Structure 1
Amino acid sequence: MSKSKKNRHSYISVPSQIITPLSSSSLQNLLLSPKKPSKNPNRIFRNPNSLFIFLLFLFAFVGMAGLGFRLHPLLPFSAIPCEISEQHSSFSAAVSAVPVAGSVGEEEMEEFWKQPDGLGFRPCLDFSQEYRRWSEAVSREKTRYLMVVVSGGLNQQRNQIVDAVVIARILGASLVVPILQVNVIWGDESEFSDIFDLEHFKRTLANDVRIVSSLPSTHLRSRPVEEKRTPLHVSPEWIRSRYLKRLNKEGVLLLRGLDSRLSKDLPSDLQKLRCKVAFNALRFSAPIMEIGNKFAERMRRKGPFIALHLRLEKDVWVRTGCLPGLSHKYDEIISNERKLRPELLTGRSNMSFHDRKLAGLCPLNAVEITRLLKALGAPRNARIYWAGGRPFGGLEALLPLTREFPYFYNKEDLSLPGELEPFAKKASLLAAIDYIVSENSDVFMPSHGGNMGRAIKGHRAYAGHKKYITPNKRQMLHYFLNSTLSEREFKRIVKELHQDSLGQPDIRTSKAGRDVIAYPVPECMCKNVKKEMRHVL
């Protein structure tokens, strides 16, 4: 494509679903492959009938190229970069050669896109009178300050920021804007205000915790109480007994490594505060919101869409003790990596790969995701946005999915030239774009558990019970391996196994230790609309 100024904004994309069938048609064979070889390459034009057919074909093809933007599965003419068609040309060619199998009926399609009713639950942050009475004193606090250093990827950072706000409230301390540790894996040096809307964060939590951008001059020479090894799942009582006396004396407390340190079973008001931080206060910064919403709009222009969080990266296979199943070559690479660095394996090191798989501890690969989506009624023309890093094995690892669901995009596919440049090499910002598009999808499904999946599960419930599919890996994989099942019976079983995740909201209190951020019902959601309107912020 020319990079001249004249053509810089001219993008035409003709879907391979149109081009490929034409390129292999009998008409092409008639015009371009004469049965008898000829020394004269223009011989075909000596036959008036052939010339007429050729001209007819040419005009038809030019007409379709001119209307390519109308026929493209997703984007209008002004928003389709040539790169989209180039990046997906190999996928589209493969897709065009595969017959449509297991077509989905109208009723099944409607059922797939149907949203759960949510039992009438709506956001409801109805803080107690005691909490609100104490808020006045906490919001004016100027003697005690909590500093935190958060680490990990975007969603780990979000979890730790939520806990930092709650700990500040427990201690009655002002919170210094959290410091984001430079990510050693991705080299991301983004600060809090690069990812989140800082002023909105402060404003939303003004009645809960006083938040300052930096330590005041009165505390700059204080010797902070530093804690690096807070135990897992500590209670508010533990936090007060451990830190309050020293914090009153020194004035500054510095916490590191907050991940999963605060208990998931907190008093009601603190659970509501967790939801308020996660779903109301932690809004992404304006540039991220703008590009994320723009991509979500592009996905939706042709109707509803699915978002998949694919956990197919190399480090995921290594850490989970699982194998990608692409080929013996790729499985061997993962096995050797794990032998060289056994410390990367997260728990249950005595289990074999097969046992892990059947226990539901492995990410779904592309073949399994495809079978699950088809069994649940996803139509072949469903538009799919995939979030996540580059899969191990490259684009080849996604072929089973793209063969069955050709309208398959990620943020690079949806972007115009230069749109993603401000976010290049900033993993947290790119993950935030994925988060926005995924949260705005009609159906969301993760291929494996994780911080992003849990965060979006709660966010989608809080935002109106948008459909979220939790793959029932532990039970369904046995049926995946059963080759004697008919397609109809397989579909029936898979739908039955996922009935709960497709219907009513999960209730947090049904299982101890569940995070309210993933399960906001009933602490953060209720059926009283008046309370919702009065106390949601």
Structure 2
Amino acid sequence: MGLGPCKSQLGPRGPDKWALRSRALPGRGILGSLRLGCFVSLVSLSHGGLPFLVSRTPPPPRHLRSPPHRSSHDAAGAFQVMPVVVVVVVAVMRGDGGGLKGARGRQGRGAAVAGRWRRVAVILLALAYAASMLVVFLGGGAGGVAVAGALRQRGAPAPAGSVYRSHLVLDRLLPEMRASSASRPHPLMTPQNKKSGKRWAPCITKKLRRSELPPSNGFLIIEANGGLNQQRISICDAVAVASLLNATLVTPAFHLNSVWRDSSKFGDIFDEDHFIGSLRKYIRVVKELPEDAFVNFDHNISMIPNMRTKAFSSESYYLQKVLPKLLELGSVLLFFLPLMLHHILATKVPPNIQALRCFANYEALRFSEPIRMLGTNMVDRMIKMSSLTGGKYISVHLRFEEDMLAFSCCIYDGGWRESIEMENARERSWRGKFHRPGRVINPEANRRNGKCPLTPLEVGMMLKGMGFDNTTSLYVASGKIYNAEKYMTPLRQLFPLLQTKDTLASPEELAQFKTGSTGLHGLSAERRVCDDSRKQLSSFSDRHRRYLYGGNAKTIKPDKRKLVALFDNPNIRWDRFKRQMQDIHRHSESKGFGVRKPNGSISIYTLPMPDCMCQRAEP
């Protein structure tokens, strides 16, 4: 238990202060352990933890560390741990030379005292370790994570757009917002800009090749992962792969995602019979694996071989690598597609395969009958509530759920509570991904680069600056908003005619769709409401809006890198802010039409022209 003849210095303060010397006394190891415990406790708390013991990466140099007192808007994103003073009062028994009284001559009593000191030393060391881990955890710098706040010179101001100050900008502009009156027609009542010449129209069936299907090479089973968009893309890519391999596709299963936690089946979300019937001329689709094929694997799905393919795989890869494996296995291949499923198949594929992918996305896949009915009812109710703007309304898809904020690693104005909740959410859903060695979290750069989800407050300010006043009907599609009472209140104040699925649909209508904690059913119905809106501010893919509206997405897509600079300026004037927002709106209008680049860098799921649509002359 003793420390031995240790005379080395610990720390820069010299031997008189911190040197631990052994004593030629019984129990010297215990006293040394106690001293070490006290020393470690004080050092760990005074130096902000024990990064030199528990961190996989060295702490930043002192001149690059964050200031000792940071606000909740500091770039590092970690709240400041206030200094902690730990006072250890030790009643040292009398004895010469600093030894323990009674240690000589009374071995029994000395052993008991020594045991107590050992326990004290162990407890102090444990407390020191726990305190250091807590401080490092709250500071966000352990586990190989470098927090970018430490990369900025101490005391240096954050670059424009690095810090969330939108709530301060709203406080500054709100009186002018309320005092100003619209000087031009309501944006929803103005005619939609149209490009002269030809317009885009659906023409997928003209591009599809129809021929008698040859005998099937086997069954293709896939598992779709992610949210609604990712699942949809995986299904369409699976249709294309099944056509390439001349395989029979089994209607996809949905993976129980750790974020969505939705247990829906394919037929719960999509019209399964319509999907199978629409594709019957192009590929074979069955609802489940036939009994004669399943019996070969003892009715155990885990016995079915599985294969993962590379991202952005070409047609030749599937024909040369995957098809032989399918034929070798006989009749079944379990084919798991990864999360980013639009990468599983190259964006540039033969025209007939691309057309089939278009057909699957825009024609074969449609929502189930209950979801379509709910969506239609919600649209009708929204139109009736928009009488002040001729039945026209704006839809907004807010991505301000806890998992989105946690994944973005952005910092808002929630202080230490927000920091803890975001860290817990990251660990709950991604288990250590953000604490891997070498991982750098840079909240400031994320915000400057436009990677932070817009708050409801920011959405309201932006729409207000674009000219949408409090007579505008606004539909908000979202999951569970993080800290909704705080963040949704300003948006409701700016747009009192705000509606959500909970206000448009009755509890009885929504109850039948709540199969999971977040439920993709409600999101599916909201997609219909968004598709029918006159304007959309959305992170929903606008592919269906382009497909429905002759190639024009009618979607407001602001440059968030410009937005953050405006939202980070509490001294900005309302007239300048409004002018900047209207410029963003006009830019979105001009970019409403777009054609895919010839190199195929943009997928058909983002821009359906020209692969899925044809140009026709205006009448």
Q: Same fold judged by TM-score > 0.5? A: yes
The equivalent of 2:181 in structure 1 is 103
Change (3 A) 1:408 1:330: farther
The equivalent of 2:580 in structure 1 is 493
Task: For 1:252 and 1:231, locate their aligned partners in 2 and report how far apart those are by CA, in whole Å.
Answer: 20
Find out whether 1:460 has 2:551 as its counterpart: no
Alignment match of 1:167 (pick from 210, 217, 241): 241
Shift of 1:413: 1.1
The equivalent of 1:443 in structure 2 is 535
Task: For 1:101 and 1:222, locate their aligned partners in 2 and report how far apart those are by CA, in whole Å.
Answer: 75
Task: For 1:317 and 1:255, locate their aligned partners in 2 and report how far apart those are by CA, in whole Å.
Answer: 32
Q: Secondary structure at the match of 2:583?
A: helix
The equivalent of 2:211 in structure 1 is 136
Alignment match of 2:457 (pick from 367, 372, 382): 367
Change (3 A) 1:477 1:345: farther
Alignment match of 2:466 (pick from 360, 369, 376): 376
Shift of 1:151: 2.1
Change (3 A) 1:240 1:500: farther
Change (3 A) 1:100 1:353: same
Find out whether 1:157 has 2:242 as its counterpart: no
Task: For 1:352 and 1:264, locate their aligned partners in 2 and report how far apart those are by CA, in whole Å.
Answer: 31
Amino acid at match of 2:233: N
C-alpha distance after superposition, 1:219-259 (max 9, x if no partner): 23446873443221111111111111122231222111342
Amino acid at match of 1:231: K
Alignment match of 2:271 (pick from 197, 204, 227): 197
Residues 403 and 426 in structure 2, CA contact (< 8 A), matched pair in contact too:
no
Task: Point out the structure with the larger helix share.
Answer: 1
C-alpha distance after superposition, 1:29-48 (max 9, x if no partner): xxxxxxxxxxxxxxxxxxxx
Task: For 1:347 and 1:125, locate their aligned partners in 2 and report how far apart those are by CA, in whole Å.
Answer: 48
The equivalent of 1:255 in structure 2 is 335
C-alpha distance after superposition, 1:414-463 (max 9, x if no partner): 122412121124412122112111112111112xx4xxx22xx0000001
Change (3 A) 1:511 1:108: farther
Shift of 1:175: 0.9
Shift of 1:141: 3.6
Amino acid at match of 2:249: L
Task: For 2:555 and 2:217, locate their aligned partners in 1 and report how far apart those are by CA, in whole Å.
Answer: 44
Q: Secondary structure at the match of 2:222?
A: strand
The equivalent of 2:424 in structure 1 is 337
Counterparts of residues 300-449 of structure 1 (less than 5 Å) = 300-301=383-384, 302=386, 303-323=391-411, 325-334=412-421, 336-337=423-424, 342-343=432-433, 349-426=439-516, 427-446=519-538, 449=539
Counterparts of residues 85-96 of structure 1 (less than 5 Å) = none
Task: For 2:437 and 2:367, locate their aligned partners in 1 and report how far apart those are by CA, in whole Å.
Answer: 33
Counterparts of residues 266-305 of structure 1 (less than 5 Å) = 266-301=349-384, 302=386, 303-305=391-393
Task: For 1:104 and 1:330, locate their aligned partners in 2 and report how far apart those are by CA, in whole Å.
Answer: 40
* RMSD, aligned α-carbons: 3.0
Amino acid at match of 2:456: A
Task: For 1:364 and 1:346, locate their aligned partners in 2 and report how far apart those are by CA, in whole Å.
Answer: 27
Counterparts of residues 204-283 of structure 1 (less than 5 Å) = 204-222=278-296, 226-249=305-328, 250-258=330-338, 259=341, 260-283=343-366
C-alpha distance after superposition, 1:317-347 (max 9, x if no partner): 1101112x24324432345437855515899
Find out whether 1:471 has 2:558 as its counterpart: yes
Sequence identity (%): 28
Q: Secondary structure at the match of 1:146?
A: strand
Amino acid at match of 1:294: N
C-alpha distance after superposition, 1:57-114 (max 9, x if no partner): xxxxxxxxxxxxxxxxxxxxxxxxxxxxxxxxxxxxxxxx998344333425257773
Decide which moves more: 160-169 or 348-357: 348-357
The equivalent of 1:124 in structure 2 is 203
The equivalent of 2:605 in structure 1 is 517
Task: For 2:194 and 2:376, locate their aligned partners in 1 and report how far apart those are by CA, in whole Å.
Answer: 23
Amino acid at match of 2:546: A
Task: For 1:342 and 1:403, locate their aligned partners in 2 and report how far apart those are by CA, in whole Å.
Answer: 39
Task: For 1:481 and 1:402, locate their aligned partners in 2 and report how far apart those are by CA, in whole Å.
Answer: 22
Amino acid at match of 1:287: P
Shift of 1:315: 1.0
Residues 449 and 560 in structure 2, CA contact (< 8 A), matched pair in contact too:
yes
Task: For 1:156 and 1:308, locate their aligned partners in 2 and report how far apart those are by CA, in whole Å.
Answer: 20
- Larger radius of gyration between Structure 1 and Structure 2: 2
Amino acid at match of 1:200: H
Task: For 1:348 and 1:265, locate their aligned partners in 2 and report how far apart those are by CA, in whole Å.
Answer: 34
Shift of 1:501: 2.5
Task: For 1:394 and 1:108, locate their aligned partners in 2 and report how far apart those are by CA, in whole Å.
Answer: 29
Shift of 1:316: 0.8
Task: For 1:104 and 1:272, locate their aligned partners in 2 and report how far apart those are by CA, in whole Å.
Answer: 46
Q: Secondary structure at the match of 1:158?
A: helix
Residues 149 and 179 in structure 1, CA contact (< 8 A), matched pair in contact too:
yes
Change (3 A) 1:507 1:348: farther
Change (3 A) 1:121 1:367: same
Amino acid at match of 2:475: Y
Task: For 1:153 and 1:528, locate their aligned partners in 2 and report how far apart those are by CA, in whole Å.
Answer: 35
Task: For 1:159 and 1:102, locate their aligned partners in 2 and report how far apart those are by CA, in whole Å.
Answer: 45
Task: For 1:308 and 1:100, locate their aligned partners in 2 and report how far apart those are by CA, in whole Å.
Answer: 22
TM-score w.r.t. length of structure 2: 0.63
Task: For 1:229 and 1:445, locate their aligned partners in 2 and report how far apart those are by CA, in whole Å.
Answer: 36
Residues 123 and 524 in structure 1, CA contact (< 8 A), matched pair in contact too:
yes
Task: For 2:480 and 2:182, locate their aligned partners in 1 and report how far apart those are by CA, in whole Å.
Answer: 30
The equivalent of 2:46 in structure 1 is none
Count of aligned residue pairs for this structure pair: 422
Counterparts of residues 2-13 of structure 1 (less than 5 Å) = none
Unaligned runs of 5+ in 1: 1-96, 531-537
The equivalent of 1:61 in structure 2 is none
Change (3 A) 1:336 1:187: closer
